[in-house]
């Protein structure tokens, strides 16, 4: 996966809707996602919305979601 950080002031983020999981904690320590016009998924830290965003190609994000659903990252939880 090739992730590149972009400034939050980049014009491609002007008209996107950022979303976070309903499972996010109330302290605001969350990851937010936005779909861009070309299908790319933007990822940012909800505590720093003016900070950088990472962009992920649709196929790569789909593969990440499939791996998460399959439990491939469960060992990271300890």
Residue 44: strand pairing partners: 32
Domain, as residue range, for 67 = 4-77
The reported pTM is 0.79
- C-alpha span between 17 and 2 (Å, rounded): 23
Domain count, the chain: 1
pLDDT confidence band for 4 (50 / 70 / 90): low
Mean per-residue pLDDT for 5-29? Answer: 78
pLDDT digit string, tens, across residues 45-73: 888 888 888 889 999 999 999 999 999 99
């Amino acid at each position: 996966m090739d992730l590149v950080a972009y400034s939050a002031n980049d014009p491609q983020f002007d008209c996107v809707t950022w979303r976070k999981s309903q499972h996010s904690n109330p302290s605001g320590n969350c990851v937010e996602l936005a779909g861009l016009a070309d299908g790319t998924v933007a990822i940012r830290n909800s505590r720093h919305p003016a900070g950088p965003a990472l962009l992920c190609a649709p196929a790569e994000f789909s593969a990440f979601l499939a791996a998460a659903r399959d439990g491939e990252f469960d060992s990271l939880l300890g």
